[in-house]
Each structure stands twice: as C-alpha cells, then as structure tokens.
Amino acid sequence: MKNILKQFILLVICTYMAFFLVFNQGLLGGVVISGVFLVVCTFLFIASIVGVVKGKLELMKFTTVTEAAGLMTFSILLGLVVTTIGLINSFAVYTTGDESQSSDKKIRVFASRIFDVPSQAALLKTEKNGVTYFYPENNKNEIEKMDALLQLEREQFHSTLGTRDEGGLTIEFHENYASLELGYGSEEVAGYYDLGNKRIHLVPTDENWELILVHEYSHYQSHLFSNQHLLSITRIPSWFEEGVADYFAGESSIWYDLENIETIDFHDLDSQEDYDQAATDTYDPYAQSFLAVESIVDVYGEEIIPELLQSQSIGGFYKNLEKTINMDIEEYEEIFLEQLLANQQQIADWLDLGYQQLEMKNYKAALKTVENIRESGDIYDVDAADWLLVDIMLAQEKVDVAVEVLNDKIEMDQEEFLVDDLLLLAEVYLLVDPKLSYETVQKAEKIAETSEFYYYEEGILMAYEQVNSANKLAGYKGLLEEEWLYNPYVRSQLVEKLSKEYPGEF
C-alpha cells in the first residue's frame, strides 16, 4: 500500500512537472520535452516487464511482482498524461501560431475543438433557431441581426446545394481583430470557419458583417454537403471553395477592375496553406477565385456548383471542370477574365438598348431586353433591370403594375437596394395614394439610419409629411423644387396631375 501511495504521489509530481515544462514551450520545445518524458516512460515500462518476468527488479530495489506491476502502471499512466499534454501544446501553438500564449489559453483552444466551450474566456452562451452563440455581454444585441440573415440564407443554400441543416453550427463573437487573428493563427483575417467544431468566428460589428457571415456560412454548408455525400472535406481546391463562398455572399464582378486583375496557376491555390500564402501587394487570391466561379456560373448556372462539389478528389474536380468547360484549366485561366469583360459589356449594351427601346415606345422589345438582363446578369444587373421594368410600366401609365413590381422586389430585397427601392415606391405612390408615400418614406428613413449603404436626406421626410397635411401644396413644391423626385415618368405625370388640381402653380 505504501508503494502504491508513493507511486501515486510521484505520478502527480511528474504530471505537474510535465505540465509546467511543456506548456511554457513553443511547438518544437514542447515536442522535445514531451519526447524526453516518453523516453523515460519507455525505459521504466521495459524495466517493469523485466521485473514482472523475473519476479524482482534489483536495479530499482523491487523485490516482488506487485512492485514491478505498479511500476508498469506508473509508466503507462505517465506516458498517456505526457502524450496528452504534448498534443494539446502542439495543437494550440500550431493552430494559432502564437508560441507565447499562456497554458490556460492553450487548454481553452484545444477544448473548444472538442467540447462546446468558447475559445475565449468570459463569453456568454445562448441558442437561437438551432445556432449556438458565444458572445461578450456588450455584443448581445448583435445576435438578432445574425439570426435574421441566417434564416434568409439557409433556404437558399438548401435549395441550391440540397443540404439539410439539422443544427450543430456555433458562432463565436470576437470583440476585436487581434483576438480573431490569434484564433486563426494569421494576420489580416476578417472571419473564419473552423472545420473541427463547425464554428464561425467573426467580429459582429464589422461594417461588412453580412458578407463575412454568409461567406463563412457557405463553408459550413459545404461541410454539411461533404458529410451528407460521405465525401472528404479536402477533396475540393481551396480556390473553388473560397470562390463559391464569395459568390453566395453576394460579391459581384462589377466591383473589380477586370482589365488589371492579376492571376496565377489555379493549381497553386489548391491547398488552404498555399492559398493563404499566395496573397501579395498586387495579387489577391480571393479575387481570382470569385471571378472564376462567377464566370463558370454565368455560363452553366448555379446547378454547376453542387455538381462540381460532388467530385471525389482534387484531381477528379479538375477532370469534371475541364469536361464541363471543354478546355484545360490552364487555358481557362487565360480567357475567363475576357469572358467576364464581354459579359459586362453585353449587360451594359442591353441596358442602353432597353432605354432606347423605351424612348421609342417599343415596349414589347424593351420587356424582352429586361428578360435578357435578368437571365444573364448578377444581382446588381437584375436590380438595374427591375428599375427599367418599372420605367416601362410608368411610361405606359400602368402605375398599379409598377407598384406591384416594386413591392415584389422589396419583399426579397438585399439591404444595399432596399432604401432606394422604398424611395422609388414612395414616388410612385404619389400618383395613387400620398398617404402610402409617407408611410413608405418613413420605412426608408428608419432603415437608412442604421445602413452603411445609403445617405438619407432628412428634408425628404418633411416634404412627404407636408403632402399629407393641410399644406400639401408646399410639400409637392418642395419635392419638385429640391429635385427629390428622381423618376422622370413620376415627375411628368405628377406635374400633369397637380396642374389640374392647382392651376397656375405648376
């Protein structure tokens, strides 16, 4: 019994020594110290076997099999403890890139991969619609906007990828980018998705939080797709994975100067490590990745995404892609930007043509042009096509149809279009129901107050309010004189209407 107690005390002491020595080292130092302990454990284990076989171990003054067996147990337990400590230290340092972090931080980083705990200390936890949130107290109000966006995006992913989201996603908020970068192990990161525990990390107050959240949520959905089809997570080149994420996040080629985009060999962007290291002062791997994906989707539709995601390996992916585009990936690298430029020019030409047809009152042809733009363009092109459609309806004095088009658009609008669409709807409502105009402008003002996409002119609201008061003449004059009515068809029809109601005033 005394020997067992001694071995237990020695095990505790050795465990503490290993904990202290290993967790105060970086990656290499931790491996070396763990290795030294394991060599000692191996020696003790071999010695214990000799003692069990001979019935004694004179070297260590053991005279019974029981004492030798105790040494064997001690060596095994210490070896397991040291191996665990070494793995935790190596994992934490390797994944974060921080060799100087504290032992508490290392344990938390490791535990967050296995257990449902945050990688940062002092975070609160809540669950909403199947998503677990870890958050600082002062970021609690950010959860609502995250949840609202995810509810919208979830259906799109399920429809496009055929995934089934049955819960398991976690979103962890970071108060600053230093914490975010430490968690990822690299600088200049706006957010990341951890495959190990299905967790999105981001700064919820980032001005581009929508794009970041949907981008990382795309990685989560791709993860679900892989699990659902029993596919390896690393079977897809990183450039395609990242390009698809940006595509679903609402990126657009119109944001890029396509004539000056630098590209490299797609194979140099296959692995995540190579992808992360590819960026330079002049080259952005995310730009090449997104633009390549957009060019593929432009031609083959969104259904090409799940088709390529079903590839069994990176080699199989390129085989499937090259079969689809009917050329080698090296050849595609040379031409895909030219294709995007040609598509952009085609959309621009169609828009010009549509307004020419509208001016010539060739409404049937203009409607066909709208259809062409909607079929071939991205969300920004579709937005422009919808405004052209509204003009076509207004030019024919089909005000009710114009209202219906705008209301349908607003119902499914993205934030960057919403305020402008509400203001246009308010203008159109002036022709049929000024009260609805005022209510619509109030909605626009409320959204604009918290939106980074729009600068709102405060005087507009007052003018619409006057239109619905006893002094409505002043309100109408204010809207027209301040040029707050931007649609030419609304202006002309409204002036015609007001000239009859207020002779000599307009």
Task: Tell me which residue has tokens 């001016």.
Answer: 359
Question: In angstroms, what CA-CA distances link 336 with 267, 296, 298, 303, 474?
Answer: 16, 8, 11, 19, 55
Rounded Cα distance between 333 and 262, Å, is 11
> What's the pLDDT at 68?
75
Q: Three-state DSSP class for 252? A: coil
Rounded Cα distance between 441 and 423, Å, is 6
CB 151 within 8 A of CB 129: yes
- Structural domain contains residue 498: yes
- Structural domain contains residue 53: yes
> What's the pLDDT at 2?
62
- Structural domain contains residue 500: yes
> What's the pLDDT at 494?
93
> What's the pLDDT at 391?
97
Among the three residues 66, 97, 113, which one is the final residue of a domain in this structure? 113
Same domain flag for 211 and 152: yes
Same domain flag for 76 and 121: no
Rounded Cα distance between 305 and 408, Å, is 27
Q: What is the pLDDT of residues 212-242, one digit of tens each?
A: 999 999 999 999 999 899 998 889 999 999 9
CB 207 within 8 A of CB 236: no
Angle, CA of 233, 234 and 238, to the nearest 5° = 115
- Structural domain contains residue 142: yes
- Structural domain contains residue 45: yes
Same domain flag for 65 and 164: no
Rounded Cα distance between 246 and 243, Å, is 5
Same domain flag for 188 and 140: yes
Q: With a cut of 70, which residues of the chain have pLDDT below it?
A: 1-4, 57-60, 94-101, 105, 108-109, 111-116, 413, 450-458
Provide the number of structural domains found in the chain.
3
Can you give the pTM of this predicted structure? 0.71
Same domain flag for 102 and 120: no
Question: In angstroms, what CA-CA distances link 189 with 161, 183, 212, 222?
Answer: 27, 10, 10, 20
CB atoms within 10 A of CB 207: 9
Among the three residues 178, 196, 220, which one is the final residue of a domain in this structure? 220
Among the three residues 113, 133, 160, which one is the final residue of a domain in this structure? 113
Same domain flag for 422 and 433: yes
> What's the pLDDT at 452?
56
Same domain flag for 471 and 506: yes
Same domain flag for 438 and 506: yes
Sheet with 124-128: strands ordered across: 124-128, 131-135, 170-173, 199-202, 191-194
- Structural domain contains residue 127: yes
Same domain flag for 93 and 166: no
> What's the pLDDT at 4?
67
Please, is 398 exposed, middle or buried when counting C-beta atoms within 10 Å of its C-beta (0-12, 13-18, 19+)? middle
DSSP 8-state class, residue 57:
B
CB atoms within 10 A of CB 496: 11
> What's the pLDDT at 3?
63
> What's the pLDDT at 354?
96
- Structural domain contains residue 504: yes
Give the range of the structural domain holding residue 163, as residue numbers without chain letter: 116-220
CB atoms within 10 A of CB 312: 13
